[in-house]
A and B are shown apart, each in its own frame.
Chain A
Amino acid sequence: MAWTATPKMIVGDLIDAAWMNTYVRDNLNNLGTHTHTGAAGDGSSTLTSLDHADMEQTGSALGEPAAGHVRFAAHTDGTLRYRVNGGTEKTASFVGHTH
């Protein structure tokens, strides 16, 4: 569902069903599933003041992200995983690990 910039209203504008569906319904639906790409209506691509992120753990291998991207996720084994486009899935090490 694409975001449509809402026009500035002026006195005398008629709000019809098409207007409500485009600017209210569709834009709300767009916000409801936004992914923070930075595109208009999709949320900023920079999250500047998060306290923490709780990631749902997954036991599946990470799929490859798009070109120029790195995928980051939590595994069911308690580790953090990441995969660079063109690379393979890696496990982040932690302070105190042994060899």
Chain B
Amino acid sequence: MAWTTPKTWVDQETVSADDFNTQIRDNLDSVSGHTHTGAAGDGSATFSSLDYIDLDGQGALSAPATGHTRFAANTDGTLRYYANGASEKTVADTTHTHTIGGSNTATDDSHGTLSVYTGAYAATHTEATRTFTPNSSTGTGKYVVVHAATALFQFNNSSPSGYDYVYMRITKDGVQQSEVSVVEPSGYLNRRILSTNVVYVTPAGTSTVFELQTKRDQNTGASTQTLGRSQILRQVRCQ
């Protein structure tokens, strides 16, 4: 029933049946079924001081009109909303938990005995390399990626006055992320372990190249080797 703006009455006016029907009956009927669209007679579109709303439990929501979002309670006790053009969603509460939505691991270890070269890190050196591809490379979900690397160095410097610096670094797509080093005074067959790790939080991406690289800075000609190199990449995405 359409709303008619209530008229202004004047004294001595004869109130007709049309007046009562239009001004009172129809307007009362209109208010009785009002839906708060904000149109005249339909109630304000803004509720400025509600205490609460008790929603009846519903089944699946249907789509609201264009430009609207429907909000309701489901019979399972959850709150639901459905934006036009989207799908029904359930509101999460503060105690919600996440499960592992995707994870994978890549390892790269051993390599046996390898020489550690003097000078800059170089592609011509024998490196431990691992190409890592997330098991999901779409969307905006973020992954935690842990990259850990360890190498066991053996020094073969027998000179009493000699020393040898060794370095190890890990890279991501060719960019150094962490570097560690140790100096070893003269000591034939002495061994040292270097390890480092980096944690990334990134959106899912395509293939990424992670590397463990070594180099040395020595004052003697004695060789230095790694007896083992190992790196592990662990990726976890929560949902």
Contact = CB atoms under 8 A, between A and B. Distances in A.
B71 A45 contact: no
A26 to B, nearest CB: 8
A32 B71 contact: no
Chain A interface category by residue count: 35 or more
A46 B9 contact: no
A94 B40 contact: no
Nearest to B90: A95
Contact of B141 (A25, A57, A98): A98
A61 interface: no
Interface string B14-48: 01000000011001100100000000111111111
Contacts of B43: 32-36, 43
Given A24-B23, A31-B31, A66 B72 contact: no
B52 A46 contact: yes
B58 A51 contact: yes
Interface in A4-36: 16-17, 20-21, 24-26, 28-29, 31-36
B64 interface: yes
Nearest to B92: A93
A33 B7 CA distance: 16
Contacts of A24: 6, 9, 23-24
B237 to A, nearest CB: 7
Nearest to A26: B6
Contacts of A37: 48-50
